[in-house]
Amino acid sequence: MNTTKYEKYFSTDGFWSKLTKGAKKAGSKVIYTGLLLFYALDSPKTPLKAKVQIYGALGYLILPFDVIPDFLPIIGYVDDFSVLGLALVAVAKSIDDDVKMKAKKKLQDLFGANGVSSRDILDIDGQLLVKKNESLKVELEKK
């Protein structure tokens, strides 16, 4: 499978532009999820199928027009977070400590130290751990 046809819907410049402009409005949960997916793209542990899912989710994040427009207060990023969250669950096995560290470093640049230690970030890390454990259990049962 070649990711080239999916990459056209995502651009690194568009991702960073959207993140830096909308970070505070979107909130640390949306931004951290996006950062995890972004850094998973560069990880050699991320399989090709997962990268295709990530390109789709990040492409949706940077689209100028969403199902729920981002400029709407409170609910503007609900659809973005839903798409990112579904992609994150699908590729959870590819999110290792290196990816988390890079995402948290960038999150700290955007939100400060409090952003990294927020309950939302701990919740996402906990969900990733649960999903990885479930995947390991399934793999062990297959053997």
With CA atoms as reference, report the closest residue to 107 among 7, 49, 27, 18.
27
Q: Is the pTM of this model over 0.75?
A: yes
With CA atoms as reference, report the closest residue to 114 among 14, 24, 1, 13.
24
Q: Which of residues 58 and 20 earns the better pLDDT score?
A: 58
Average pLDDT over residues 22-28: 73
Angle (deg, nearest 10), helices 48-62 and 28-42:
140
Q: What digits encode the pLDDT tens for the residues 64-76?
A: 666 666 556 566 6
Which residues, including other chains, have CB under 8 Å from residue 80's CB and lie 6 or more apart? 26, 30, 60, 61, 66, 70
Check: CB of residue 131 under 8 Å from CB of residue 92: yes
Name which of 18-32, 42-56, 71-85, 94-108 the model is least confident about. 71-85
Distance separating alpha carbons of residues 122 and 75, to the nearest angstrom = 22
Alpha helices in the chain (DSSP H): 4-7, 12-26, 28-42, 48-62, 78-90, 97-111, 113-116, 119-142
Q: Give the model's pLDDT for residue 40.
A: 95
Percentage of residues of the chain with pLDDT beyond 90: 22
